Amino acid sequence: MEDCIFCKIAVKETQAEIVYEDEQFIVFPDSNPKAPFHVLLIPKKHIPSLREVGEDDMELMGRLLLTAQKVAQENHLKGYKLAMHVGKEGGQEVDHLHLHLLAG
């Protein structure tokens, strides 16, 4: 998606500090952190929000939660909070599905 700022991060057109990356996901710090540790996990595939997720992406969604678990482990987080905003009315600010991971 040409105009998606998160897609630009995924393809490295926009620079970000990469906290974690694999074939399916990229994780980088939230630009407006609400906690000492606050990163965003995004699938590299452009999906606007959870509303647009279909059966075909179910495994990707499961992997998203397991990736959050992995990032938390790698960063030695004792406890953490995950949050996902869905739709403008739900507080979603960028139209590319993303999961917040906060701790500290």
Q: What residues act catalytically?
A: 98
Distance in Å, CB of 25 to its own copies, minimum: 13
- Compute CA distances 93 → 15, 22, 59, 89, 96, whole Å: 19, 24, 25, 10, 9
Distance in Å, CB of 97 to its own copies, minimum: 10
Q: How far apart are CA 39 and CA 41, in angstroms?
A: 7
Q: Give the DSSP H or E segment for 9.
A: helix 5-10
Distance in Å, CB of 84 to its own copies, minimum: 4
> Please, which residue, 13 or 90, has the CB nearer to its own copies?
90
Instruction: Using CB under 8 A, list all residues that contact its own copies.
Output: 50-51, 53, 55, 57-66, 68-69, 72, 77-92, 103
Q: How far apart are CA 26 and CA 31, in angstroms?
A: 15
Half-sphere exposure of 78 (CA within 13 A, CB side): 1
> Please, which residue, 9 or 72, has the CB nearer to its own copies?
72
> Please, which residue, 18 or 58, has the CB nearer to its own copies?
58
